Amino acid sequence: MNGERIAIIGNAGGGKSTLARRLAAAGDLPLTEVDKLLWKPGWVEATDEDYEAGHGPLIAGERWLIEGMGKLETIPARLLRATWIITIDMPIWMHFWLAAERQIEQALGTLEHPIAGLGEPISTHDMFETLWETEQEWMPIIRAAIDEAQAVGIKVTRLASVDAIDAFRTEHAPG
């Protein structure tokens, strides 16, 4: 995976982080979870300047795997810099279901990889509100940006179900 730049993107709760960790390990790629650039302790959003100070140099790199959304205005540049875009774009009810499972795991103390590496969970209300707003407001823009990237020759893989994600992981990220 020399020179590989992979962007994994999609609404919350879809399994992007899990897939990203496995792909990064399989391809020996440096992994960045964009949420770690975006969120500070207490779920305080990074300033535009702080976020861009991390994001800009990151996408300028030659080898990376970047997982997550981040700030909407930075997504097109990341997608156009990628050599491969993997989008997890399932029906919204599935994102709600999987996010709820993650909330339960975090409440039970069994969640191995908390969102943004933050120990404190986001409220379930805020999580569900974000999922809905992302689906309604962001995903049409992101889908169009992915289509644009594909039109200029960037490889795109669309995963629209848990079964498709599992099959992809088995094929591309063994272990």
Helix H segments across 61-138?
A: 75-81, 92-108, 124-133
Residues 173/19, Cβ–Cβ less than 8 Å: yes
Go through the chain and tell me how many residues it has: 175
Grade residue 1 by pLDDT with cuts at 50, 70 and 90: very low
> For residue 26, how many C-alpha atoms fall within 13 Å in the half-sphere facing its CB?
15
> For residue 52, how many C-alpha atoms fall within 13 Å in the half-sphere facing its CB?
7
Predicted local confidence at residue 56, as pLDDT: 93
Quote the CA–CA distance of 127 and 29 in Å, as a whole number: 29
Quote the CA–CA distance of 141 and 157 in Å, as a whole number: 17
Residue whose token pair is 């943004």:
116
What pTM does this model have?
A: 0.88
Quote the CA–CA distance of 85 and 118 in Å, as a whole number: 26
Given a cut of 80, is residue 71 above it in pLDDT? yes
Grade residue 58 by pLDDT with cuts at 50, 70 and 90: very high
> In the predicted model, what is the mean pLDDT of the chain?
87
Q: Which domains does the chain have, with CATH numbers?
A: 5-172 (3.40.50.300)
Mean pLDDT of 111-140: 78
Q: How far is CA 116 from CA 36, 81, 107, 175, in A?
A: 4, 23, 16, 24
